[in-house]
A and B are shown apart, each in its own frame.
Chain A
């Protein structure tokens, strides 16, 4: 569920950006993808770290090697993931700030050079059809809304009958 929520919102944002002319993977969309990816990695690292910590905790004292090894892994993973999360969170804020302050509004980014290479161009005056853009935006909005709805309905179903009716 967590994965669905994360992927859903990030993917929706990416779709909207990618299909906005110039079509292609640019600075912004790449940033989004990296953000989502790192978030998921952080989550898995933390889960693994928890499991290792539990293993290390519950073993008897005579398994010194196992205990030490697992606790080392757990601590290392936890620290790495914390660092990643820190960087990732900062990146998210910085990315949003950059977008709104038009810092990314330069030739390199607007031309989606990252994916288009020499084929890239910058729009000076857009005269074409807006159907693709419109579709992408609709798809993005619907996708994110749908994902949110799924997540919330799941939570609601799970929590509707526990604390409240006691």
Chain B
């Protein structure tokens, strides 16, 4: 209705979308990071959702699962609206109809009794619609329904893979530690601090109560059962049941994987329960990430999952593109200097899809600051207590290029 009321606005959105895609593509070209393609693709294709950078770096993850997650999302995003027989034939049909109208209009000029120009005029008046339809087919964006599917799909697989990984890690621990398992309970942060290697991240998949979230919840339940059977030392049964947390011993496993998968039917409660059950990694502030605050009427248009409203997202989008790409660039450079492993170098952005009961996935692509700082400075700032430093919501997680 909005585009009907103001074709100019829709056309403006279309042009913006196209220009944004071009901008992202050209800026990403200069970056030497292995995942720049996926990131650029995601940035281009997700223009019609309200993207936000997560401000909570505790939720950033860089375990391999997330590489996969991102890859799958990117794969799915690759399939975009394109010309099909149906769209092609309808466009052709419109064009043919309009040509007939034109012919009729010119032929009837001589027939003075039946001389109206109405068909012609009205046809011309509606011509912008044709332009917009073709234009939206060209622009590589992603329809919102497909976005949901893609997210579901990727979440599903991420959870599966996480389960697999968890099993493997469990095996390793069992072999290495034997009866010493129980001693680990409650002492995780200190143990972790002893190790000089950076510690793994967290994958958090939150499934809301929607129908779409069901598969994830089932998966997680499955995972949970398995974990319970295996007598995971860190899984404290008194805590919330839907949260699974696992940690391998520092010496027994190279690098550490801290895996948290939570599926909670009650999204509001999830953060609290997660905070209780997992130790330093997540606290109630995670609420911030999953429940978008900007649902006040100020940004209402931005949260609409329709491409016509792209115009309202332009400011936020440009800032986001800048943040993400600058971070990527920085990461690529630092990778050369410090020599971090590839798996740990990823960037961040999280999708916040709002109020539709969509599965919310944090798409974590950036190493938490502490990884970098532990390697570079190893100062007191990176001590165990600050494994997951808290950031105020006002603070920006990523520095823009100017600073």
Contacts and interface: CB of A to CB of B under 8 A. Distances in A.
State the majority secondary structure of interface residues on A.
Answer: helix
A42 B122 contact: no
Contacts of B134: 152
A43 B117 contact: no
A12 B118 contact: no
Given A99-B122, A100-B122, A134-B109, A85 B11 contact: no
Interface in A104-148: 125-127, 130, 133-134, 137, 140-141, 144, 148
B167 to A, nearest CB: 35
Nearest to B9: A43
Among all A-B residue pairs, the 4 with the closest Cβ atoms: A85-B5, A163-B140, A89-B4, A2-B11
Contacts of B110: 130
A163 B298 contact: no
B9 A158 contact: no
A28 B9 CA distance: 23
Interface stretch (B18-26, B153-161, B177-185, B362-370): B18-26
A166 B40 contact: yes
A39 B9 contact: yes
A158 B315 CA distance: 20
A155 B135 contact: yes
A81 B9 CA distance: 11
B130 interface: yes
Contacts of B121: 13-14, 16-17, 28, 32, 99, 140
Contacts of A46: 6, 9, 301, 311-312
B2 interface: yes
B384 interface: no
Given A43-B9, A96-B125, A100-B122, A152 B131 contact: yes
Interface of A: 1-3, 5-6, 9-10, 12-14, 16-17, 20, 28, 32, 35, 38-40, 42-43, 46-47, 49-51, 53-54, 56-57, 60-61, 71, 74-75, 78, 81-82, 84-89, 92-93, 96, 99-100, 125-127, 130, 133-134, 137, 140-141, 144, 148, 151-152, 154-156, 158-159, 161-164, 166
Given A9-B125, A42-B5, A137-B120, A71 B298 contact: yes
B120 A154 contact: no
A51 B5 CA distance: 21
Nearest to A110: B116
Given A5-B128, A46-B9, 18 more contacts: A6-B7, A6-B128, A12-B127, A17-B117, A20-B116, A32-B121, A43-B8, A50-B312, A61-B394, A87-B5, A89-B4, A92-B5, A96-B122, A133-B115, A141-B120, A141-B124, A162-B24, A166-B40
Contacts, number: 204
A125 B113 CA distance: 7
A58 to B, nearest CB: 8
Given A78-B301, A141-B124, A159 B139 contact: yes
A47 B121 CA distance: 29
Given A2-B9, A42-B9, A137 B105 contact: yes
A108 B309 CA distance: 40
5 contacts: A39-B8, A43-B9, A92-B4, A133-B115, A163-B25
Nearest to A72: B298
B9 A154 contact: no
B393 to A, nearest CB: 11
B8 A42 contact: yes
Nearest to B1: A89
B176 interface: no
B109 A130 contact: yes
B100 interface: no
A20 to B, nearest CB: 4
